[in-house]
Chain A
């Protein structure tokens, strides 16, 4: 049993971490909240005045916001769809006995360790470029016109890049979950004459439900904040075709210096992320027994 002495010591040991995170949460967030009620442009210092919720109505009625919200949902949804389905298929494959499994695992996981700016620029120039890219060469080789990915399908292109980066994460987690499946259960089903599909849908998939939920929630948290890939490839364009909420807030605050409206956008982003976070926290909380 912990003594009173060690309990006091324990409080002191937690204090720095708690206080720092508390400061990190409260100070900037309350500043954002405060700025979001001001008319505040960095180009006109000293002209700040209180305007209530005007920034919010300005930000939320801006057509760019609706475009950015749609793009954010498409980006998150598209990447989730590719990575979860791809991840399940890959995990099923990697779970089979084969030669050189360790090496294949390494190859599959590698994209996760590539920094976002590198992966975006490599995809943009060396693969998707309509003149010199590898895709252009392949389409020309089969006699088709090369497709200019980033100007004609900017959001889809970004979805492909981001999905490539996150597929390893989904695969790795689903594979981990799959390996904890009792193989006797599968064998018993096999002996009872269950086919491969029946085994997958009645045993494997239900076993994976939890892992899939975790993948979806954790990736959503990160995918809502995709930024570097957009910054170095399309700058959110053409127009607002590939602008997500994160990029829109960045553009309004640090490119147009409109701190007030940017802050309102930041708060909107926080609320969106919190909706997902609540579900994720519940999942993790259930699993944590102290």
Chain B
């Protein structure tokens, strides 16, 4: 039950919370604002917040000097591809662990989780050399494989926690009625599992989109997703704040929007059910 609080206190809390929220969000806001400035205005002193000549020049510039949409396309393919592939592998596994648990199910789950704890740098060299020898360096396919594997434990775990909430009696009823395993999955389980699968998909697309160890180390130009593309702005050049801001805004906007829909899943997916 909500407790009654004096209005004055509520206003005080509101002001404090909005001020702090604004402060935390400010770097993002500032990036978005700067992306609409000219390069000269971007470094103007004193800086202007809203009263400048809004322009889309930087966005045009970013696209014309380096094929921005190629990198955007790479990010989409890599994050979506690795998540979908991961789901295809994880759904059956999570299904059977949730509904036909065996003695060792818990051990298997814990072991899967432990693979996620492996620091990427521990396997950097072998993966790099294997990629080099198999011609996978700077290929979207290679990155899809690696990101599938590093996110697979999270996908299995998230699906497992969602599937476990589906009442088992319904499945048994279907089985009594003579439903085959396949019919059970397609007609009974899937409709109930779709929300959980959607949440898992959402969170993992976000994680894969922002992954910045393997994408930086295994790509050069052709297959570079946005994380690696933005890194090319790390070498200072003349005036580039507006261009950097435009490229950054385009890189984070889609995921910022997706992210706001996935707040709840974030807690669930990243704490492996340890916080409820």
List chain A positions with a Cβ less than 8 A from chain B.
2, 6-7, 9-11, 13-14, 16-18, 20-21, 24-25, 27-29, 31-32, 35, 90, 93-94, 96-101, 103-119, 121-123, 125-127, 132, 134, 137, 140-141, 164, 167-169, 172-173, 176-177, 180, 183, 187, 210-211, 214, 218, 221, 224-225, 227-228, 231-233, 245-246, 249-250, 253-254, 259, 262-263, 265-267, 269-270, 272-274, 276-277, 280-281, 283-285, 287-288, 290
Contact = CB atoms under 8 A, between A and B. Distances in A.
A103 B188 CA distance: 37
Nearest to A274: B117
A118 B251 contact: yes
Contact of B31 (A16, A122, A265, A270): A122
A259 B122 contact: no
A164 B27 contact: yes
B126 A114 contact: no
Interface of B: 1-3, 5, 10-11, 13-14, 16-18, 20-22, 24-25, 27-28, 30-31, 34, 43, 45-47, 89-90, 92-93, 95-97, 99-102, 105-106, 108-110, 112-130, 149, 152-153, 156, 181, 206, 209-210, 212-213, 216-217, 226-228, 230-231, 233-234, 240-241, 244-245, 248, 251-252, 255-256, 258-260, 263, 266-267, 270-276
24 contacts: A7-B102, A18-B108, A25-B115, A25-B118, A35-B126, A99-B11, A108-B25, A110-B28, A115-B227, A115-B252, A117-B227, A117-B231, A118-B230, A118-B248, A118-B252, A121-B234, A125-B240, A140-B45, A227-B120, A250-B124, A259-B125, A265-B121, A273-B122, A288-B110
A110 B115 CA distance: 28
Contacts, number: 312
Given A98-B14, A249-B124, A273 B118 contact: yes
B117 A16 contact: no
Contacts of B46: 137, 141
A13 B95 contact: yes
A14 B92 contact: yes
B271 A253 contact: no
Contacts of A100: 14, 18
Contacts of A288: 106, 109-110, 273
A50 B270 CA distance: 41
Nearest to A16: B89
Contacts of B18: 100, 104
Given A24-B115, A266-B123, A122 B47 contact: no
What is the interface of chain B mostly: helix, strand, loop, or mixed? helix
A14 B153 CA distance: 12
Nearest to B88: A16
Contacts of A2: 99-100
A85 B11 CA distance: 24
B252 A32 contact: no
B198 to A, nearest CB: 18
Contacts of A116: 210, 212, 227
A225 B110 contact: no
Contacts of B20: 90, 93, 108
Given A21-B152, A121-B234, A224 B119 contact: yes
A54 to B, nearest CB: 17
Given A210-B275, A218-B270, A93 B123 contact: no
A140 B1 CA distance: 50
B96 A14 contact: yes
Contacts of B110: 281, 284-285, 288
Nearest to B92: A13
B233 A29 contact: no
In the A-B complex, the 5 residue pairs with the smallest Cβ-Cβ separation, listed nearest first, are A13-B92, A10-B96, A113-B259, A228-B212, A107-B21
Contacts of A25: 115, 118
Given A97-B2, A111-B28, A117-B212, A249 B117 contact: no
Contact of A104 (B17, B130, B275): B17
Contacts of B213: 225, 227-228
Contact of A125 (B122, B129, B212, B241): B241
B114 A112 contact: no
A173 B273 contact: no
A267 B252 CA distance: 34
Contacts of A270: 118-119, 122
Nearest to B150: A24
B9 to A, nearest CB: 8
Nearest to B93: A17
Given A112-B266, A127-B27, A250 B121 contact: yes
B255 A228 contact: no
Contact of A105 (B212, B217, B263, B275): B263
B5 to A, nearest CB: 5
Contact of B115 (A21, A96, A225, A232): A21
A167 B2 CA distance: 27
Contacts of A21: 112, 115, 149, 152-153
Given A9-B96, A100-B18, A29 B125 contact: no
B230 A173 contact: no
